[in-house]
Structure 1
């Protein structure tokens, strides 16, 4: 077994196709297939179930891929650490962020990050929270920004900021003219929510249970922008994070009053593996993000009414 074999294993697990994995690894398909078969013989277990139309990782295969990713991550970190002492001194950082935060957060923090860390080569991935956490643990990501607490023995992190929620309503709705709304004002209302897998959906469902609101039947949004346009069309109400309200939501079609309850929001944090060699860098990045977003949310968030 060698690092090349592990690279073949990871590629095949990612693409579930011998042809595609061979292309990614720049080898012939028979070569990759032979090496995977030899790896299975060496380990004494089948790593893949060869179904008629696709490949399925066996439990042993899933465990082997997780360990292979960690080994490759350690090797990459070794290379990054060594390159930091070279002429260019670039540090590679692969950062993940979830979809209901990324488009509204990254434009505000990336200019400051690149100015503060000019030798930071940043690569970004946008995925749902569960997938981000899985990629972090597997070594495919170096750090993730999440809106939920992470309890994993291999992961550590630090809080960044608390993002309040706002209520996006059509301008003609009775709640549109309120300076603030209370959770109890939502009793009997129907909220349009995101599809399964979004942490914001789970948080909105919690609000529905607390307030007596219900989910809008027959519709689940794929993104915040979809929900925004549904509100603009007068189809209903939705929950909107404060950063998504910093710019006009579609005036004069939408109002976005704040909630009276200060606890209605989500806690955003930066998380990374405990084994990383970039722990100090992560803390520095987190400190810069906190300062930027604190200044952004405090004075700039719309006070009430139309956003």
Structure 2
């Protein structure tokens, strides 16, 4: 009996997710011609049509959807096999694939990666930066080993290790027309004076919840697609915003007149590490979490 290869299964899972040969091939770091050949070989091996092809669209067939679901389960089982084998190696050696969200990666990683490389020189890190939902999906599909995210966030079938709280700070120009930074009061803000990230970024939801922004009339209908854009909007005094404490000391505010102040009430999001439940590398992942926590606490004490 001819059996599909792991590579073919990975490629087809990517195609089912993207529904586009070019995008799926790019996600798998392979040429589109090689990708298409692998999918045709998989169809020949299984003796079934997995996708309907037209000039512009790719439609996964009904049986293709079912096979993609089974392929994901097969890939997870293979990942578990590899993890079991690695559990006999020295901890934090070899390859480790970590997903990190954009509101954490530029601020946390530059501070923890240099000491991590010194402490664990045989560890090879592969990083993927994306929004929470997508790195969670990649974790569950076996494309990532770990994810670093902000909590709370609804997750299933994972183990979560809280690392440290990340306070929210008021961010605005010192001469802003929207508030008096040193005497900030939420109730005194005018309508549409608070700028936030657009829907889809968990930082928006965490800001609304942690900072108790219940009066939605004060939230601007204009949103930003990234923290950099948000800071530029605040620098133009289009409004005020709230930034996580980890931006302190970074280059995010460089070249602007935006400053940050503590809020009257302590508000924060929790930074956490997550991995698939039942992973054979749980002890190793916990060790990494402890390293990140200790390194960050040491850094905060010196800032």
TM-score tier by shorter-chain length is 0.7 to 0.9
Corresponding residue to 1:288 among 275, 287, 291: 291
| Contact map agreement 1:11 1:24 (CA 8 A) in 2 | no
Say whether 1:39 aligns with 2:46. yes
1:2 corresponds to: 4
Report the 3-state secondary structure (helix = DSSP H, G, I; strand = E; otherwise coil) of the residue aligned with 2:151.
coil
Q: Using a 3 Å threshold, how does the CA distance of structure 1 residues 252 and 223 change in structure 2: closer, same or farther? A: closer
Say whether 1:144 aligns with 2:147. yes
CA distance in 2 between partners of 1:237 and 1:86 (Å): 50
Corresponding residue to 1:75 among 53, 78, 82: 78
2:214 corresponds to: 210
Q: Deviations over 1:123-153 (max 9, x none)?
A: 0000011111111111111110111235544
Is the deviation greater in 109-118 or in 67-76? 67-76
Which structure 2 residues correspond to residues 261-280 of structure 1 after superposition, within 5 A?
261-262=265-266, 264-280=267-283
What is the TM-score of this pair, normalised by structure 1? 0.80
Q: C-alpha root-mean-square deviation of aligned residues, in Å? A: 3.4
Q: Using a 3 Å threshold, how does the CA distance of structure 1 residues 7 and 131 change in structure 2: closer, same or farther? A: closer
Q: CA deviation at 1:90?
A: 4.0
1:100 corresponds to: 103
Which structure 2 residues correspond to residues 1-307 of structure 1 after superposition, within 5 A?
1-4=3-6, 5-13=8-16, 16-17=19-20, 21=25, 24=31, 27=34, 29=36, 32-36=39-43, 38-39=45-46, 41=48, 47-50=50-53, 53-57=56-60, 61-62=64-65, 64-76=67-79, 78-79=81-82, 82=85, 90-173=93-176, 178-179=181-182, 181-186=184-189, 188=191, 190-206=193-209, 207=211, 209-210=213-214, 214-217=218-221, 219-247=222-250, 249-250=253-254, 253-262=257-266, 264-300=267-303
Q: Deviations over 1:193-223 (max 9, x none)?
A: 2122100112334447435652223x32111
CA distance in 2 between partners of 1:73 and 1:92 (Å): 17
CA distance in 2 between partners of 1:196 and 1:210 (Å): 16
What is the TM-score of this pair, normalised by structure 2? 0.81
| Contact map agreement 2:172 2:181 (CA 8 A) in 1 | no
Report the 3-state secondary structure (helix = DSSP H, G, I; strand = E; otherwise coil) of the residue aligned with 2:237.
coil
Query: 5+ residue gaps in structure 2?
Result: none
| Contact map agreement 1:176 1:255 (CA 8 A) in 2 | no
Q: Using a 3 Å threshold, how does the CA distance of structure 1 residues 280 and 174 change in structure 2: closer, same or farther? A: same
Q: Using a 3 Å threshold, how does the CA distance of structure 1 residues 40 and 226 change in structure 2: closer, same or farther? A: farther
CA distance in 1 between partners of 2:37 and 2:216 (Å): 60
CA distance in 2 between partners of 1:283 and 1:86 (Å): 16
Report the 3-state secondary structure (helix = DSSP H, G, I; strand = E; otherwise coil) of the residue aligned with 1:210.
coil
Q: CA deviation at 1:231?
A: 1.6
Q: CA deviation at 1:163?
A: 0.5
